[in-house]
Amino acid sequence: MPSQKFLAVLAAAVLLAGCNMSNDSQRAVAGGLGGALVADVLDTNVAAGAAIGALGGALCDDAGACR
């Protein structure tokens, strides 16, 4: 299992990766890829990770996290 520090850095990188995108669909793609990567590293369901990441990426601008 990866260390807690590695997982925290990976999660922060995934969350910030979509912030420089210009529209929701670009952020959704970046979030989906990041979510799939994190799920693969954690050895969990990659499809669920991609779906959660895509949802987070699409909504991060609306929530004010990507400003």
Say which DSSP state 18 is in.
Answer: G
Determine the pLDDT at residue 3. 73
Q: Pick from 34, 33, 35, 23: which is nearest to 59 by CA? A: 23
Please state the pTM of the whole predicted model: 0.65
- Residue 21 — φ and ψ, nearest 5°? -85, 155
pLDDT of residue 27: 84
Residue-level pLDDT at 47 = 92
**Single-letter amino acid code for the residue at 1:** M
Q: Which residue has better confidence, 5 or 53?
A: 53
| pLDDT tens digits for range 17-51 | 655 667 888 888 888 888 888 888 888 898 998 99
